[in-house]
Amino acid sequence: MDTTSLPGKELAAAINADTKQRAAALAEQGAAPRLALVVANDDPASAWYVKSLNRAAERNGITCENVDLGVDATIEQIRAKLTELSEDASVDAIMLQTPLPKGVNLDDVSSAIAATKDVDGVSPLSLGLLASGLPTFPPATAEAVVELAKFHAIPLAGRHVAVVGRSNIVGKPLAQLLLAENATVTVCHSRTTDLPAVTSAADVVVAAVGRAGLIKAAHVRDGATVIDVGTNEDDNGNITGDVDAPSVTGKAAALSPVPGGVGPVTTALLMRHVVDAAQSARA
């Protein structure tokens, strides 16, 4: 069986083109969208991602401000800054980078981000609104999975989707987004008994657990669609996914690549969310 690739670059380009046009319209009114990136770590991967977001914002006509709180920032300091930015009318969108300082969990501080500015959907309020089917910003990576499937005409309604991973960033919100598309969803995790038996019964498998090469041929039925959300670093410093691509190729009908699949769509959606937030604030 030929396995079709599901790249995200064309979709990302289309999203960015619309985002750039809308950002330009706001700028002409003297109100260019403004994103605040809050960082409290010295993690190289996070630094790379922040630079990537800065470049994406610049390409799309979005003003991006990096707010570095330092690796020793406390829960109180992080919450205070997030509250300050939430109350600042000149800031349209807020993103809090991870990892956070030792002893600080995302749950400790994310509730300080106003839902209207929470463009990556990390606060409890944003996640609650999503679960309730109410308007909010979903986590961009989770949304990217659904948008990538739609772009490549992968049907979701009525189909069985197995999501491997239950994080608040991808797994749980993705389950809510898939339910909204009328999919039948199974969420798998480290305690799932006989994971291959569960995933191989699904029409679509989404790997979002953060373990390189976890999903192999035994986890996938013939003709299934596999979407790989993983971004792991191998021994050579290369980015690799949660799916053992060589093993799955020839068995799955379609597979998203890593890199170049979900990743570029995620970044494009974040930029779209920033402009959405800016337009809502000026409405």
Binding annotation for NADP(+): 165-167, 231
Tally Cβ neighbours within 10 Å of residue 227. 28
The span from the CA of 149 to the CA of 181, in Å, is 11
Alpha helices (runs of H) in 88-170, residue ranges in sequence order: 106-109, 124-131, 140-151
How does DSSP assign 25-62, residue by residue? Answer: HHHHTT---EEEEEE----HHHHHHHHHHHHHHHHTT-
The DSSP code for 100 is P
Distance (Å, whole) CA 161 – CA 201? 9
Are the CB atoms for 100 and 66 separated by under 8 Å?
Answer: no
Q: Which of 279, 70, 262 is nearest to 165 (CA)?
A: 262
Torsion of CA 207, 104, 274, 177, to 10 degrees: 30
Per the annotation, binding residues are 165-167, 231
